[in-house]
Amino acid sequence: MVSAGALVAAGLAGCGGSSSARDGTTTVSIAVRAHFTEQMQQITAQYHKLHPEVRFTTQTLPDDNTQYLQRLVTARMGGKVPDVIESIDTLVNQLSSSKVTTDLTPYLARKENGVSAGSFLPQFLGAYRPLSDSGRVEGVPVGADTYVLYYNKDLFARYHVPLPTDSWTYDDMYAASKAITRAAKGKAFGMVQTDLQQGEYNPVIDAFGGYVYDKAKHRTGIGEPAAVKAWKYLLKPYQDGTFAPYEIGSSPSAPTFQSGRVAMLLGARKNVPTFRQQLDADWDVAPVPTIRGKRPIGGGSYGLAISSTSRHKDAAWSFLSWFYTEKGGETTLQNSYQILPATKAGITDGSWKSLPAPPTRASVFADAVTGALMAPQLPKSAQGTLTTALIAADQKVLLDGESVEDAFGAAADQVNAAIEASR
């Protein structure tokens, strides 16, 4: 008989569904992106020990969202999507419209293992409700990822700049970054960011009174006056020497927070394991600074879903509901520092609260969860168009000297065309 470890570790040549054997065992197939594969194998091995009648195969799919989506949609056309798949909040509408995922509302109503819709932080579960039907839930969030401010105490001390405080504004953060960048003279930088991520730009646009997508208007607001003000504010530090120079993509020599050459970074909980392993310095976290009296905290998550073609949805849901229990897979991920739980009980009583430092101020992550603005949900392929259009607009402004109004106006036209095409 094949060992449980071999079954869990097996990679599939293509997407495939689950199977039942004559001996009464059920094999549940799972597909996740590369970042999640090793831990998913550990988690399914835990479950198999408790339920030896359930075996697992785990397939690794690309981390890139576009490639990941393409693989799943292609598999759906062939009726061979694995039983359990990783989902991403910004792909929910595309997965739903392609009929890749199934509605989990009936399963949540069972309260199996005590897990129901009410178990989750509402804004994070809400991100898995497709725009086409908000009564459906087509995934459950694995973690509550929100932005905080990481900072390197050693660099602040070296360049004689006061440490971040909870009362900091974005202007204070920018001023500290400029002071460190100028004092370090290329040896270090106050901050470094590449292309702006939704967890940064989305809440800042909101703080300026704008919006990324309005479902009622069926259009994007990234080129509207309020958003233009936000883009100018966000891009100015790249232009005036406050941040490290803007680079397309990444390079081995680019300064990073984990290398000890960057004093601050706006980032999510998932960064903690890397910083703990690679950063040889005294570091901690602080709340995201305020803008206009608001704390612009971006939120998002990856999650787990059951495929529409799964032949063993009940077995898949039993695994997923166990995942969110005190001794389930979510706790395994908490203990790796990778996530903050997306469940209410996990936030108040989770094992993440007692993990050794750094970071010392772990409560900053929990505080951020309550005020997080979730990733903007756009219909179908418009989500991907938004990402590519904003990257292009960043580069037009920062590399080609184009005005913010023109660059982001053109981006808005592209996104609105994609939104219209989704009708």
Given a contact cutoff of 8 angstroms between Cβ atoms, the answer to whether 242 and 236 are in contact is: yes
**Cα(56)–Cα(26) distance, integer angstroms:** 8
pLDDT, tens digit, 9 for 90 and up, residues 286-342: 999 999 999 999 999 999 999 999 999 999 999 999 999 999 999 999 999 999 999
Instruction: Check: pTM over 0.95? Answer yes or no.
Output: no
pLDDT, tens digit, 9 for 90 and up, residues 62-104: 998 889 999 999 999 988 899 999 999 999 999 999 999 999 9
For residue 153, which amino acid is it? K
**pLDDT for the residue 423:** 81
Q: Is the confidence at residue 6, as pLDDT, over 90? A: no
The stretch 115-125 carries a mean pLDDT of 97
**Cα(420)–Cα(92) distance, integer angstroms:** 18
To which residue do tokens 């909040």 refer? 89
Q: DSSP of 205-265, one letter per residue?
A: HHHTT--SEETTTTEE-TTSHHHHHHHHHHHHHHHTTSSSPP-SS--TTS--TTTT-EEEE
Given a contact cutoff of 8 angstroms between Cβ atoms, the answer to whether 142 and 303 are in contact is: yes
Q: Please choose, from the candidates 375, 366, 359, 364, the residue with its C-alpha nearest in 3D space to the C-alpha of residue 345.
A: 366
What residues pair up with 20 in beta bridges, in sequence order?
26
